[in-house]
Amino acid sequence: MALLEVDQLRVEFLTRNGTLTAVDDVSLKIEEGEVLGVVGESGAGKSMTGNAIIGLLEPPGRIAGGEIRLDGQRIDNLPYEKMRKIRGAEIGAIFQDPLTSLNPLYSVGQQLVETIRTHSDVGLAAARSRALELLNEVGIPAASQRIDHFPHQFSGGMRQRVVIALALSANPRLIIADEPTTALDVSIQAQIIALLKRLCRDHGTAVMLVTHDMGVIAETADRVAVMYAGRIAEIGPVADVIKHAKHPYTDGLMGSIPVVGQQTERLAQIEGAMPRLTAIPDGCAFNPRCPKAFDKCRQTRPDPIASGAGEVACWLIEQEAHHG
Amino acid sequence: MVAFIIRRLLQSLIVMFVVALVAFTLFQFVGDPINQLVGVETGLKEREELRQRLGLNDPWIVQFWRFALNAVQGDFGISYQHKRPVTDLIVNRMPATLELSLISALFSLFVGVPMGVYTGLNRNGFLSKIFMTVSLVGISLPTFLIGILLIFVFSVQLGVLPSFGRGEAVLVGSWSTGLLTSSGIKALILPAITLGLFQLTLIMRLVRSEMLEVLRTDYIKFARARGLSNSAVHFGHALKNTLVPVITITGLQLGSIIAFAIITETVFQWPGMGLMFLQAIQNVDIPIMAAYLILIAFFFVVINLIVDILYYVVDPRLRIDPSAAHGHG
Ligand SMILES: Nc1ncnc2c1ncn2[C@@H]1O[C@H](COP(=O)(O)OP(=O)(O)OP(=O)(O)O)[C@@H](O)[C@H]1O
Ligand code: SF4
Ligand SMILES: [Mg+2]
């Protein structure tokens, strides 16, 4: 049994103009200690998937279908208080902007101690020494002084290190890292990714790493999921997906893989733009941009089917299966 | 921090100087003080003597200097109407106004903040909608009307609370307080509500909108993602971040409460400074008017100073030497 199983997840927004489906029948698994990269253009539904997993979808967004299981236990329908105890302790999260993720009114030590004591029954002194340990572990220089400093006294990279320390402070088994370096200076992005990778390997923590950076995926992830218009286009071992992309969209994405940490044009090698949620075409959502589209693509929607070690949602794969 | 306070004190001094100047010019432009002091039967020669004796023939700058020097020492001259030192009159009246203002401010704060938090957290709740609707009434009804309505219901119809006066006051040192007698407390309820209602609705709406704003921030989302309890997120993280604007407004409003006590004091015939000021205007009793102006300005200045210091207590971003920030890459 995988650590996390997402099964046919559907996230909807009730708006004045009807119901928008931001995440549509997404299924994925994350094994203990595994890094799953998630890529896709802006608006593909990556953050909504992550938010649904930690139970922090903001209204009017809601889970409209499917199941999310941790160790085989459903967590998508837990009451708030039960889910709260899972957040931080079992599933941690790191968000995009380290500058705004920390409360400006508390020292980093206070925020660490509060989180540690929320999830385990330890005294103030023990929590503080654990906090100090964590700050050392994430590489804050002079941690014993810095522990009493406030967020505004840290640079962006240092703040993201503090955020990582906070996310790890209750030893979660899975971390959802949603573009953890996008807001940072290019020069420190690689450092932060390396730190995250090392810490999670040391602690045996699984990671769902959302990013626009294919280089980071290539370096860090074990498997990768490619999302397009709220659905998974392709998911599989990172080497397979990068070297032998089966979905035409993935193929386009892999056009050029930049060096780690280098911010290239955001996955924009493919002509055209991803459709808005209000105007998703019939059939395969990618068909207006797909160089290989044929009649069937414009009529019927392909579902992910097994192909090699992964899954691909494309009619070409089905054809191959039939003919080859 | 010390430099900041010194700078603020200097600014306050300038403000007080300007207000003193304005108060002083009242004497120059509003009638001849001699006419206020003596009767029609006094002859020209005696008037001239009196004028000389009071220093009214000196250049205005000398007169202002004398006025300011006396004011600093708490001497605002003799009331034209009461023929008593203005300071004595004010000291007599001040406790009533300050007690009324303080209780109103506490009332608006301790009712307004929880209501604001509640409506911020349960935005679409039934009770929230009632609070918001009622608060609209509180904001749009003029103070005197609220006072009269309260008198009508609680004094005239129900007959449970007095409609005027301050009840029985007892002396604690030289401070006459109405807070220690049951009649004093009863008499305080309606005026305090009348005076505090506007501020209450203001504070409630402010806290609500600040809460809504803060609840959308990333650090609240991250606090939830860390699994902190609802009460820690709502009060420890969200409410605390709304405090700076709440302190500002409460501080400013405390000043206005003291100033606007005039209306409430009139409606309830509350024996405070406001009522005295109103009577002074009717009688062109300039020393009282000048002293009242200066005193109110003084309250504003002191409150602002306290507000500024409270910022430092609440917000570490102001507290710490900015050069220490961003020390490490
Ligand atoms: N409150 C909302 N109402 C309606 N639609 C929304 C709302 N919030 C998000 N969406 C839509 O949900 C879709 C998925 O958004 P999501 O944030 O998951 O994208 P993403 O893949 O994380 O993109 P990015 O790379 O820009 O972070 C988007 O098309 C977005 O427009
Ligand atoms: S299903 Fe058709 S349109 Fe969609 S990616 Fe495959 S070939 Fe292209
Ligand atoms: Mg996103």
| Structural domains counted in chain B | 1
Domain match, A74 and A133 both? no
Q: What are phi and psi of A38, to 5 degrees?
A: -125, 120
On whether residue B62 sits in a domain, the answer given is: no
Look up tokens 């009461």; give the residue.
Answer: B82
On whether residue A25 sits in a domain, the answer given is: yes
Residue type, A69: R
CATH code at position B276? 1.10.3720.10
pLDDT given for residue A324 in this prediction:
54
On whether residue B27 sits in a domain, the answer given is: no
- Tens digit of each residue's pLDDT (9 = 90 or more) over B226-267: 999 999 999 999 999 998 888 888 888 888 888 888 999 999
**3-class SS shares of chain B: helix, strand, coil, % to 5:** 75, 0, 20
Q: CA nearest A171 in B: which residue?
A: B226
Cα–Cα–Cα angle for B233, A180, A73, rounded to 5 degrees: 65
pTM of the predicted structure, to 2 decimals: 0.83
Residue B142 to residue B267: CA distance in whole angstroms: 12
On whether residue A187 sits in a domain, the answer given is: yes
On whether residue B269 sits in a domain, the answer given is: yes
Domain match, A250 and A276 both? yes
Beta strand ranges found along A31-166 (DSSP E): 35-39, 61-70, 73-74, 91-94
- List per-residue pLDDT tens for chain A, 324 residues long: 899 999 999 999 988 888 899 999 999 999 999 999 999 988 999 999 999 999 999 888 999 999 999 999 999 999 999 999 999 999 999 998 888 999 999 999 999 999 999 999 999 999 999 999 999 999 999 999 999 999 999 999 999 999 999 999 999 999 999 999 888 888 888 899 999 999 999 999 999 999 988 888 988 999 999 999 999 999 999 999 988 889 999 988 876 455 444 454 444 467 778 888 888 889 999 999 988 889 999 999 999 999 888 999 999 987 776 765
SS3 A111: helix
Domain match, A182 and A227 both? yes
Distance, first Cα to last Cα, chain A = 32
pLDDT given for residue B80 in this prediction:
81
Strand partners, A223: A36, A237
- Which pair of structure tokens corresponds to residue B257? 């409460």
Ranges of chain B with pLDDT below 70: 30-31, 36, 320-329
Domain match, A73 and A186 both? yes
Q: Do A167 and B226 touch (CB under 8 A)?
A: yes
Tell how many helices (H) and how many strands (E) occur in chain A. Answer: 11, 12
Nearest by CB to residue B229, choosing from A92, A118, A141, is A118
Domain match, A67 and A177 both? yes
On whether residue A310 sits in a domain, the answer given is: no
Domain match, A117 and A53 both? no
On whether residue B8 sits in a domain, the answer given is: no
On whether residue A293 sits in a domain, the answer given is: no
Smallest CA–CA distance, residue B210 to chain A, in Å, is 15
Domain match, A121 and A219 both? no
On whether residue A39 sits in a domain, the answer given is: yes
| Structural domains counted in chain A | 2
Q: Answer with the one of A151, A171, A191 that is the final residue of a domain.
A: A171
Domain match, A180 and A271 both? yes
- Tens digit of each residue's pLDDT (9 = 90 or more) over B70-87: 888 888 888 888 888 999
Domain match, A70 and A184 both? yes
On whether residue A15 sits in a domain, the answer given is: yes
Domain match, A184 and A267 both? yes
Q: Answer with the one of A114, A143, A171 that is the final residue of a domain.
A: A171
Residue type, A44: A
Smallest CA–CA distance, residue B198 to chain A, in Å, is 30
SS3 A2: coil
Cα A269 to averaged position of ligand 2 atoms, centre (Å): 17
pLDDT given for residue B282 in this prediction:
87
DSSP B240: H
Residue B262 to residue B258: CA distance in whole angstroms: 8
pLDDT given for residue A69 in this prediction:
95
Q: Give the range of the structural domain holding residue B303, as residue numbers without chain letter.
A: 86-327
Domain match, A190 and A251 both? yes
CATH code at position A215? 3.40.50.300
SS3 B142: coil
Q: Give the range of the structural domain holding residue A137, as residue numbers without chain letter.
A: 100-171
Q: Do B328 and A155 touch (CB under 8 A)?
A: yes
On whether residue A298 sits in a domain, the answer given is: no
- Taken in order A135, A137, A140, A142, is the CA torsion positive or negative? positive
Residue A79 to residue B5: CA distance in whole angstroms: 50
Q: Do B224 and A92 touch (CB under 8 A)?
A: no
pLDDT given for residue B321 in this prediction:
54
Q: Do A84 and B314 touch (CB under 8 A)?
A: no
pLDDT given for residue A160 in this prediction:
93
Domain match, A62 and A114 both? no
Nearest ligand atom owner, CA of A177: 3
pLDDT given for residue A323 in this prediction:
67
Neighboring chain B residues of A140 at a CB cutoff of 8 Å: 328
Residue A317 to residue A323: CA distance in whole angstroms: 10
On whether residue B150 sits in a domain, the answer given is: yes
- Tens digit of each residue's pLDDT (9 = 90 or more) over A158-203: 999 999 999 999 999 999 999 998 888 888 888 999 999 999 999 9
